[in-house]
Amino acid sequence: MLLWEFLLLLPLLAGSSAQDCIEIPGSLKQIDASNGQVFGVNSAGNIYTLYGDSWAQVPGSLKHVTVGPAGVWGVNNNDNIYKLVGGSWQQVTGLLKQIDAGGDMFVAGVSMYDGIYCLSRPATVSANSDSALPWVNIAGSLKYYSCGLWGCWGVNSADNIYFRFDVTPDSCAGSRDGITKSNPVGTTWTQVASFICNCKHVSYDLGLLWLITDQDKIVKCRI
């Protein structure tokens, strides 16, 4: 999920009145968009992907799904981790309550105890059900973790927001320092006042902002 891209766009969105937002058919509790693809899950755990203007159900049951350079991954109600391979879900080793494939060919996520984990590019690409995966434990505690090409964002149980620097495909743990004049996190948060919505989940890709409201309605905004 490219949440980091949306966060970096916030100042631009706040100053623009050109947002074209429409509600689209369907009901989802979580959504993720990347590489021109959109995936989501509803309250019953059903998985959907967008084909044109229609939602197509994907076999399986998940509580969280993610799409990105690392492919399509998800976790179910038991925190089991799955990777979509050849149209079928393949379980891999590990337990996560939330997972993200927005990094540069690596995946990351958090456990039921808010532990932070990532899987480097070589292991992500070759991941299968035949061998244990070398998940890297990152110091700290977060309830949500989302990565992009410039680093990773996280939110803890107190809703504090963090950014992790120096994340690379082969060193997905990154570092906890690095605030410089080239700081990619910006300086302030700006509310997007022109869109009235109690939104619980957002994702951005290719000029489209996808939002899930607190009533599981799906909204698409062209930026």
- 5 three-state secondary structure: helix
Question: What confidence score (pLDDT) does residue 19 get?
Answer: 61
- Indicate the Cα dihedral angle 135, 136, 139, 141, nearest 10°: -20
Contact 74, 59 (CB under 8 A): no
Contact 217, 46 (CB under 8 A): no
| Cα(18)–Cα(20) distance, integer angstroms | 6
Contact 94, 117 (CB under 8 A): yes
Tens digits of per-residue pLDDT, 59-90?
999 999 999 999 999 999 999 999 999 999 99
The domain over range 32-185 is classified in CATH as 2.130.10.30? yes
| Cα(169)–Cα(25) distance, integer angstroms | 36
pLDDT bucket at 10, cuts 50 / 70 / 90: very low
| Cα(150)–Cα(101) distance, integer angstroms | 14
Contact 77, 63 (CB under 8 A): yes
- pTM of the entire predicted model: 0.84
Domain ranges of the chain: 32-185
Give the CA count within 13 Å in the CB-facing half-sphere of 181. Answer: 0
Rg (alpha carbons) of the chain, rounded to whole number: 17
Supply φ then ψ for residue 121, to 5 degrees.
Answer: -55, -50
Tens digits of per-residue pLDDT, 137-179?
999 999 999 998 778 889 999 999 888 877 777 777 765 444 4
Q: What value, to the nearest 5°, has the Cα angle with vertex 120 and ends 63 and 88?
A: 45
